[in-house]
Chain A
């Protein structure tokens, strides 16, 4: 395998944690398979070079080479109209065998279109791992998963949910290459308004802790919540709740949280205390329950 390309999505001026985890997994794959790991970092402003700045973070995170592209159009959320031409241009030059994106709104916007353009296989809920025979790739988990088998003679685009892998912890210094972004496509979608909207949150559990947490987060009923938080144990179990099953991100708090099926994140301990602490921390934030 020659090249692995990881698209680095920024959340404000920081690397989205999902992208950093993906870079860590790319590093592990790269070391095992002898591949070079490229981190494509589209930034609105040129980053600094101090210890906590983007390039240092990506170096420590596992990049062999940071491809740095700076343009004002990268200031907004990542999407094909603004970031697609850059990705396309880098793919044409580097011809990655594996293109990795965190399965965020932005990652999904880029991933499918890039895959179609490259004629690549596409995994939208991917596990990307390696064994003695090479890459092992799944789409989905457990019994409902699908796997790409055999010697892959084509490129693969994989969208990996945040939280699936651990970030890398290296101390190597990555090479930095400045990439000139192509001009934005003419006649693109033009953003004409933006309004903050809190995430839709559902809290599962009974008692004062759940009630307080629900109030702090502005929780309500929602068909498809962005976030579901279960204070364990719940009656019935979270898996029987439609809101839990349909939530984009699920969090379990309580003594058996690590064993809670379907949760992306868990914190172990006394559920009431954890819920109260969470309510205090997010309730104190300037924008309350939403982003």
Chain B
């Protein structure tokens, strides 16, 4: 059976991951961790693995990706499904760390003979792609807004891993803290005022939000 590692961080991975094979939910850090564990348990995944250490919370997208990549090597996988963690940056970064193919904006996927078939919604089209396993799929941000799937299931025990057990030194995560922006009041976005409706239509067409031309 296909081994699926779902990165519960940020939401969105479970709806895409369930049905691909035997799902292990990987949960990073707090406070998202508690919600992630609850969602994974409710969805009836085969296994829940949690890594909750202070260093993970403070690090940036690449530090988190390093943790996931190391955990994935230890746990084993055929497909990694990432959600909205680090606002969608976690999946591509994990793929880079593991030198795997990745595809973002995935709305649906299935396994077909050692390959993944994934549908991606972007730019006014739904495109279907095929790639040999292993791969990283990054679920569409819209999936993170859906209610997590629920399945009546026996209670899944939570396994806990430490950074030491997956071979990540806290200093590696600490180093990445300097790359993480710090809270500070930023500019306030204001609407771009367009002169008239034809200018708006031209703009929306260029962004493929309305049809024509």
Range, interface on chain B: 35 or more
Residues of A in contact (CB 8 Å), total 94
Q: B132 — which chain A residues lie within 8 A by C-beta?
A: 187
A197 within 8 A of B: yes
Q: CA–CA, A81 to B120, complex, Å? A: 14
A16 near B92 with CB under 8 A, answer no
Contact B102 A192 (CB under 8 A): no
One of B62, B189, B213 near A164 (C-beta < 8 A)? B189
Question: B212–A194 contact, CB under 8 A?
Answer: no
- Residues in A neighbouring B146, C-beta threshold 8 A: 223
Interchain CB contact under 8 A, B93 and A145: no
Whether a CB of chain B sits under 8 angstroms from the CB of A44 is: no
Distance in angstroms from A45 CB to nearest chain B CB is 19
Taking the closest CB of chain A, its distance from the CB of B77, in whole angstroms, is 17
The answer to whether A47 has its CB under 8 Å from any CB of chain B is no
Nearest CB on A from B110, distance (A):
13
Which chain B residues border A34 with CB–CB below 8 Å?
Answer: none
Contact in complex: B130, A192 (CB < 8 Å): yes
Q: Write out the residue numbers on chain A whose beta carbons fall within 8 Å of the beta carbon of B154.
A: none
Partner among A122, A190, A262 whose Cβ is within 8 Å of the Cβ of B129: A190
Determine the distance from Cα of A277 to Cα of B197 in the docked complex, in whole angstroms. 7
With a CB–CB cut-off of 8 A, which chain B residues contact A188?
Answer: 101, 131
By a beta-carbon cutoff of 8 Å, the part of chain A in contact with chain B is 11, 14, 16-18, 76-77, 79-81, 104-106, 108-109, 111-113, 115-117, 119-125, 127, 129, 137-149, 154, 162-164, 185, 187-199, 201, 217, 223-224, 226-227, 246, 249, 251-252, 257-258, 260, 262-268, 274, 277-278, 281-282, 284-291
Having A124-B87, A260-B191, one finds 11 other A-B pairs with CB under 8 Å, namely: A105-B105, A142-B189, A198-B124, A198-B211, A199-B208, A199-B210, A266-B192, A267-B200, A281-B201, A282-B201, A282-B204
What are 22 A-B interface contacts by the 8 Å CB criterion? A77-B125, A77-B127, A79-B104, A80-B102, A104-B207, A113-B92, A116-B92, A129-B187, A138-B184, A189-B129, A191-B127, A192-B130, A194-B127, A197-B126, A198-B211, A227-B209, A249-B209, A266-B193, A267-B197, A282-B212, A290-B210, A291-B124
